[in-house]
Amino acid sequence: MLIVDDEEDVFYSFQRFLEEFPLKAYNAKSGEEALKFLRSNAVDIVLMDIRMGGKNGLETLKEIRKLSPQQIVIIMTAYGTCQTAIEAMKLGAYDYILKPFNILELKSILTKAMEASKLTKEASKESPHSSFDRHGLQIIGNSPAMQKVYKLIGQVAPTNATVLIVGESGSGKELVARAIYQYSLRSNRPFIAINCAAIPENLLESELFGHERGSFTGAMAQRIGKFEQGDGGTVFLDEIGEMPITTQAKILRVLQEGEFCRLGSNEPIKTDVRIIAATNKDLAAAVAKREFRADLYYRLNVVKLTLPPLRERVEDIPALVEHFLAKHRRYLPNAASRVSQDALKHLMAYHWPGNIRELENVIQRAMVLATSATIQSCHLPEEIRLYEKKKDSKKTSSVEHFSKELNALIEETVAAERKENRVENLKTLFYSIYNHVLEECGGDEAKAKEILGFHPSSVDAIK
């Protein structure tokens, strides 16, 4: 550890303090001296005062970041202000502590900094690998579920078949649509994506089919719609389940006849487009409720491609994390480039209601918050860090509730058997219940006994 402070007493105090740490202390009395030392020596941690003669701590920190972007630097000062703390962290300090030091806090910070330094070294030994392509369209994942998706994409892409992509929000439906387009025979023609849920109902038809001048208030000039612009190419209708019924009828005509009319005109226009649609809704259920046209549903559902949610392909999370780290480091060059094993464990245990989109946001947030080259558990949102504990707590609560209900039933049955003087049946009854619970627990005797709770009535039943 390099201690950068112009007061010699600080260095000697730290020498004694560090005796319980596997760290050797070196001293620099100025920012210039520190930079000279770091140019020829590798250190795990730099502990640096802000106020010094010559270059101050923040100016030196800027130079250290240029010299070694992943260097762990802890800033210390006796003059703590909000502005100074924010500036230090913005410049890439690992942490910020105030003089006089709280010994327990200082020990905690140094312990974490040593772990961060160790992880940084491990990361630097690994060969850099990025799964990010220049278009940002590569689909990531090698799980069995995704292999089925890739296979279907390969089968349907070279055809002109209409495809319906079904999946939860954030699961990557547009990426799949673009992959189908890129591998199709129309890849040299336009790909036009339209989010049916994002465009107001009164503007959606104009967006899709275009309009003539004066066809409605505000239509000052003729407009060419997406189906006309996309002639020969592919039109992707995202969130088609949100499309109004009136517009659905006109989409059906495009699919059946290959033609449409601009708003304000009765002149049919021919178009040759391939339609790929996507939804996070159950369209069959929407048809049953008369919220979606049955004839359009059957026209769209020529080839149905179902995307698995992220919670059903957790083995793909490490590759996705690596992909997002590489993607966002293009804009955050000094940000974290690795995720610790403990943090990855939390990421793989979480249920991801927002799917891949949520994972990307979490990684981007953690890269901003991480003060070293490695994202650790503390950089993840609380709901992810505590998810397993909450899940276990719910399981325990469920077991306790079931146990109470089951034992109440046993008490009631035992009382009835005794009242009728059929005590000889109790042992058979108990074992019948126990065997049933044992079967439900997959043969786990400890779990079965936990559910039964060794209630006195149950023990009496054996006796």
| pLDDT tens-place values along the chain, 463 residues long | 999 998 888 888 888 888 888 888 899 999 999 999 999 998 999 999 988 888 888 999 999 988 888 899 999 887 656 667 767 777 788 888 888 888 888 888 888 888 888 877 765 554 333 333 434 457 888 888 888 888 898 889 999 999 999 999 999 999 999 989 988 999 999 999 999 999 988 789 889 998 888 877 777 788 888 999 999 999 999 999 999 998 999 999 999 999 999 888 889 999 999 999 999 999 999 999 999 999 999 999 999 999 999 999 999 999 999 999 999 988 888 888 899 999 999 999 999 999 999 999 999 999 998 888 899 999 999 999 988 776 655 555 555 566 666 666 667 766 766 666 665 565 666 666 777 777 767 677 777 777 766 543 454 444 4
DSSP structure class, residue 373: S
Region of 103 please: left (phi>0), alpha (psi -120 to 50) or beta. Answer: alpha
User: Could you tell me if 445 and 438 are in contact, meaning their C-beta atoms sit under 8 angstroms apart?
Assistant: yes
Contacts 24+ apart (CB under 8 A), 280-287: 280/166, 280/167, 280/168, 280/169, 280/173, 280/239, 280/241, 281/241, 281/242, 283/164, 283/166, 283/241, 286/241
For residue 264, the model assigns a pLDDT of 87
Give the three-class secondary structure for 154. Answer: helix
* Cα distance between residue 309 and residue 237, in whole Å: 20
Helices marked H in 167-200: 173-182
Name the region of 172 (left: φ>0; alpha: ψ -120 to 50; beta: rest).
Answer: left
Residue 296 structure tokens: 């359009």
pLDDT of residue 23: 86
Q: Is the pTM of this model over 0.85?
A: no
pLDDT confidence of residue 457: 46
Report the C-alpha gap between 346 and 321 in whole angstroms. 12
Q: How far apart are CA 216 and CA 138, in angstroms?
A: 42
How many Å apart are CA 41 and CA 64, to the nearest integer?
13
What was the pLDDT predicted at 405? 65
Q: Residue 374: beta bridge partners?
A: 338
Q: Which residue has the tokens 């004839």?
A: 295
Q: Are 359 and 310 in contact (CB under 8 A)?
A: yes
